[in-house]
Structure 1
Amino acid sequence: MADKRFMYIYHGGGDMRPPETEEARTAEMARWQSWMDGIRDHIDDEGAPAGQSHTVRRDGVAHDGGPNPVFGYTLVHAADIDEAIEMAKDCPMVLDGGSIEVCEAVQM
């Protein structure tokens, strides 16, 4: 059976902040690179970090991203949702208190 494609949608936690120093930014990027290297054979698109998000609802717009702002995305392939979830568990976003929404990218 062919692998399926999955989206990783990264969400930050309530107290997550970007690194404040160049040294901290370099260390954070090294952690992300190490995690991505570990799942490299499953990555279809490394994606990108998100800029300031705006949540549009029928009753208005939250310009601060709302209660669960998107931090970025990655597209991966895996045999099934369980494998995709397992690969996400060691992501720095998760380890630092954020979360990853994992969902199948349904082929249309």
Structure 2
Amino acid sequence: MTKYLLAYHGGKTQMSPEEGQQHMQKWMAWMDGLGDAVVDRGIPVSNTVTVSSDDVTEGGGANPLSGITIIEADSQEAAIEMTRKSPHLDIGGTIELAQAMDMPM
């Protein structure tokens, strides 16, 4: 099995308490449905900055990071199929899928 990083970008940030609760219920159902494929449920993030060798940009740029998750899948295609069911896509967000590299460190 190969590990994949899901990097969540954007998405609706202003929700009513009811909308937030509904989204969280969908999120938890999706996570639970992934079962053993979930290596690390990850964390949501906010207040992003982009750091370069000569500058720090507030706000994370045009498509700021909003969270991460790590999953395992037999193939990139299988990981994509799991990712397509994420409720993050329903709130206007995108998900960057990246294959983890096994490197001795």
State the TM-score, normalized to the length of structure 1. Answer: 0.87
Q: Counterpart of 1:55 in 2: which secondary structure?
A: strand
After superposition, where does 1:79-98 map in structure 2 within 5 Å? Answer: 79-98=74-93
Unaligned runs of 5+ in 2: none
**What's the counterpart of residue 7 of structure 1?**
5
**What's the counterpart of residue 23 of structure 1?**
18
Q: Counterpart of 1:37 in 2: which secondary structure?
A: helix
**What's the counterpart of residue 107 of structure 1?**
102
- Give 2:46's match in structure 1, choosing from 47, 51, 57: 51
Take 1:58 and 1:18, find their aligned partners in 2: how far apart are those partners? Answer: 33
Alpha-carbon offset, residue 4 of structure 1: 0.4
Alpha-carbon offset, residue 37 of structure 1: 1.4
Alpha-carbon offset, residue 60 of structure 1: 2.3
Alpha-carbon offset, residue 62 of structure 1: 1.6
Q: Which amino acid aligns with 1:105?
A: A
Unaligned runs of 5+ in 1: none
Take 1:8 and 1:73, find their aligned partners in 2: how far apart are those partners? Answer: 5
- Give 1:67's match in structure 2, choosing from 49, 62, 67: 62
Take 1:9 and 1:102, find their aligned partners in 2: how far apart are those partners? Answer: 6
* Residues 83/105 of structure 1: CA separation in 2 closer, same or farther (3 Å cut): same
State the TM-score, normalized to the length of structure 2. Answer: 0.89
Q: Counterpart of 1:92 in 2: which secondary structure?
A: coil
How many positions carry a matched residue from both structures?
103
